[in-house]
Amino acid sequence: MNETVARRLTGLAGIASAAAFIVEVPLYFIYSGPPPDSNVLARLLIGILGLAFQIVFVTAFRELVKAVNPAYEWAGTAAFATGLVYSTIILVSSGLEAGAVIAADHPIDPTITVSGTYILYGSISRLMLALFLTTVGYGISRTNLLPRWTGRSAFVLAGVNLVFVPSLFFGNTPAHFYAANGWGTTALMGAIFSYWMLALGISTYRSATRRAPAHSPALQH
């Protein structure tokens, strides 16, 4: 995969993933009590599609780092591995939620009822996402493949995620900001990551357009 293709694929996958997550998050706040099954299953389906695009993103990002500077291929591989682990954790959590909702004979709030997802969505996801963002930020800053703000913002967001890792000690009330499944730990951090991913995807895709002329046959002659 050449650099231009890698930039375009990484950018498009990032934009698609972010768009799905941005649509998904507000669906958690429509109902004050247990939401209808249709709401839960719809938001989970949208999230699953977003995670599929995210897997494409981390795969393409690894190829992009390799194309820009092969010496830092290991950083791209680290970002790929941690991003894949993060996506897998959320997919498992989504499956647990969907299964509980489908099996229940009455509306349930899976953010409370499905206790197995408390730290999967919370502390575990926050730690894995922090590792992913750190490796992405490192790969960007060392290879200069994108503007400096992308790498620096990745480091900042990684630090913010780490702050929420100890949230597993603070109960299981979704209405609380800092709890194992609190809205700050899960929804807010997910929303911030979504908009960051959108900005990163746009920046990456635009970088392919800016760099394309440098590889044109006319300029090489």
Two structure tokens written together for 164: 């929420």
Q: Could you give the CA distance from residue 135 to residue 28 in angstroms, rounded to a whole number?
A: 30
Q: Could you give the CA distance from residue 65 to residue 73 in angstroms, rounded to a whole number?
A: 6
Two structure tokens written together for 9: 């694929």
pTM across the whole model: 0.89
Determine the pLDDT at residue 213: 44
Determine the pLDDT at residue 116: 86
* Length of the chain, in residues: 221
Q: What is the pLDDT of residues 129-165, one digit of tens each?
A: 999 999 999 999 999 999 999 999 999 999 999 999 9
Confidence band (pLDDT; 50, 70, 90) for 214? very low
Q: Could you give the CA distance from residue 168 to residue 178 in angstroms, rounded to a whole number?
A: 9
Confidence band (pLDDT; 50, 70, 90) for 33? confident
| Cα–Cα–Cα angle for 8, 140, 3, rounded to 5 degrees | 35
Q: What is the pLDDT of residues 52-110, one digit of tens each?
A: 999 999 999 999 999 999 999 999 999 999 999 999 999 999 999 999 999 998 999 99
Contacts 24+ apart (CB under 8 A), 80-84: 82/128, 82/131, 82/132, 82/135, 83/54, 83/55, 83/57, 83/58, 83/132, 83/136, 84/55, 84/58
